[in-house]
Chains A and B, each alone.
Chain A
Amino acid sequence: MPFISSLFGRSPIRPMQQHMKAAVTCAREVRPLVEAMAAGDGAAIAERRAEISRLEHEADQLKNEIRSHLPQRFFMAVSRRDMLEILDYQDSIADVAQDIAELAEIRSMKIPEPMREPMHELVRRVIATCEQAERIIDRLDELVETGFGAREVARVEEMINAVNREESETDAVAERCLRTLFAIEDQLGVSTLFWYKIIHWIAEMADYAERVGNRLRLLIAG
């Protein structure tokens, strides 16, 4: 009756990190996508979209696997509900990346010249925010290893503050994108709406990255 062994469940931490990695890779793929959109290269856009879809699917599978291995009866160092919420935010990053790629391909959109620079800047900052959030998720092992010790918690909180800062900088760049967009909205006509949507989505990835951090902040404080 070695039922001591049935005491241990499979740790979700490693899969959580893998999922975050997949999600952030999706976000990173938005950069070549936007470059292809700037060049108006339809073939490249399709290629990018396929890659993002593949990664998003991978993230989905990881997500389902994590969920099915976290039954209610588990007692966890990181509470189950918190973990699942963080997982949802992580997954949203990949979902939104997919939305962007989908619209970009279906409507084969070419970025108007004045918007190229601000949009590249936006994507760069959004990816940086997501990567910072990924680094935080990578610290989950250390948090558990120190048993959520005060020092490690302080370290992670500092990292979360960094995500918050990056996200607000992202907001500023997104605003610049929108101002540029609305300045030329007469030339663009109905496309304005779709560009608005795409800018919004790109910025939204940083929002979700921030939420990952903020959710973790609540969790390590309690």
Chain B
Amino acid sequence: METWLYDLPIAVWIGGVLALYMAWAIGANDVANAMGTSVGSRALTIGRAIIVAGVLEFAGAFLAGGHVTDTVRKGMLDMDLVALRPEFLVYGMLAALASAGTLLLVATRYGLPVSTTHSIVGAIVGFGAVALGLEAVAWWKVGQIALSWLTSPLIGGLLAYLIFSLIRRLILDRERPMETARRYGPVFYFYVFFIIGMLTLFKGLKNLNLDRELPEALMISFGLGLIGAGLGWLFIRRVRAGPADEDHPFRRVERVFVLLQILTACAVAFAHGSNDVANAIGPLAAVVHVAQDLDVTGKSPVEPWMLAIGGVGIVIGLATWGYRVMETVGKKITELTPSRGFAAELGAATTIVLASRLGIPVSTTHVLVGSVLGVGLARGIDVLDLRVVGRILVSWAVTLPVAAILSVFFFYFFKGLLTP
């Protein structure tokens, strides 16, 4: 029992490096998904998208990243069983980071769609089942997570479908779309601000002691929504694109959605930060907690400094590599006008932040794909390539077992390395 404690600082170091790498990879690869639609519709320039994404990803990770991190850290394994061999949790979590990192490296090299969330979950289940025994895995929780991978894109898609249908009925399909946009635009601004308020304030901002109970959160969010509606009203009044253009009657209306799309892109970035930081920091937190006080049952919360490491890692990934990915994504997604981007992103953001609040790690990308398909089903997008749906299914079928097997391999590797 005493012997492995001696080695722990090394384990923490390895964990820190691997976690930083994971966070870097998330920033480099996934952030482009969140912001790409805004760049593609030219609502944001790449430079601005980077800055906005950096700030909100960090904020999301730091302020609201705790729930999912807790789930990754201790929700998927039976902590009472883990407590018998806490050192196995250290090896296992390092193995999870290492296998997810390896998968990411290979995936980036060959352009395969691998979700960081799926690889981490698969890896934890893998080492848990093999090293600690099948009964150590909290199958009920894992099943819930797996189910969410199916439901979250569906919910995102459904929401996006409804939001876009509403935009069409209220604004676009009218005799004078610009006038209806002036009238109903503020309603959408209200909703966006209200949702952002609800999802961050309602038990969300623990780290700032800003978590509020439901009635209070409702009231503050409602006020926030009203402020948003007011701002939106002012903004829409200022949208003057010169005389009505007969050939492109909707160009002006689309401009009403530009600011909304930027706001929802911010919400997606925030949601992404809060959801995906767990993939890097959850395992690290587990390692550190075992090292610190052996309190594997995890009464103590995830500490802000760990989330900060995750946030910084994501921002570095964004700054070093992410902008190139975003450039590519932005160039590819030019078919998405602001009204579509807004509908898709609002559907996705709502779904992801809800999942984060419930502590469920979902794949941000998959939710976003679901939302875009939702808008497409409402006949809102010219052309969608359904191959992506197939690739998502393949990614499910491949990522989980491969991550699990890799993680078992790395588990024994770290066990051999760190057991003196």
Point out residues on A near B: beta carbons under 8 Å. Answer: 1-13, 70, 73-78, 138, 141-142, 144-152
Contact = CB atoms under 8 A, between A and B. Distances in A.
Given A8-B383, A74-B383, A75-B384, 14 more contacts: A1-B113, A1-B365, A2-B329, A5-B333, A9-B384, A11-B335, A13-B382, A74-B384, A75-B383, A144-B379, A147-B168, A147-B173, A148-B379, A149-B168
30 contacts: A1-B30, A1-B107, A1-B108, A1-B113, A1-B115, A1-B365, A2-B29, A2-B32, A3-B33, A3-B365, A4-B37, A5-B333, A6-B385, A8-B381, A8-B384, A11-B382, A12-B382, A12-B383, A74-B384, A74-B386, A75-B373, A77-B380, A141-B248, A144-B379, A145-B337, A146-B250, A147-B164, A147-B380, A149-B169, A151-B174
B360 interface: no
A203 B380 CA distance: 37
B333 A151 contact: no
Contacts of B382: 9, 11-13, 76-78, 144
B244 to A, nearest CB: 13
Contacts, number: 132
A77 B250 CA distance: 18
Interface in B377-397: 378-388, 391
B372 A7 contact: yes
Interface residues of B, number: 53
Most chain B Cβ neighbours within 10 Å, of A12, A73, A144, A147: A147
B192 interface: no
Contacts of B386: 73-75
Nearest to A5: B332
Most chain B Cβ neighbours within 10 Å, of A4, A9, A12: A4
A108 B33 CA distance: 62
A7 to B, nearest CB: 5
Most chain B Cβ neighbours within 10 Å, of A2, A146, A148: A2
B42 to A, nearest CB: 15
Nearest to A71: B385
B175 interface: yes
A6 B391 CA distance: 10
A10 B174 CA distance: 28
Contacts of B18: none
Contacts of A5: 32, 36, 328-329, 332-333
A6 B336 CA distance: 13
B86 interface: no
Nearest to B388: A7
A3 B388 contact: yes
A76 B173 contact: no
A147 B333 contact: no
B83 interface: no
A3 to B, nearest CB: 4
A2 B331 CA distance: 12
Contacts of B112: 1
Contacts of B333: 4-5, 7-8
A8 B30 contact: no
A9 B368 CA distance: 16
Contacts of B337: 145
Contacts of A75: 373, 376, 383-386
Contact of A4 (B33, B172, B173): B33
B335 to A, nearest CB: 5
Given A146-B172, A147-B173, A8 B107 contact: no
Report, nearest first, the 4 A-B pairs whose CB atoms are least far apart.
A149-B173, A9-B383, A11-B382, A5-B332
Nearest to A80: B383
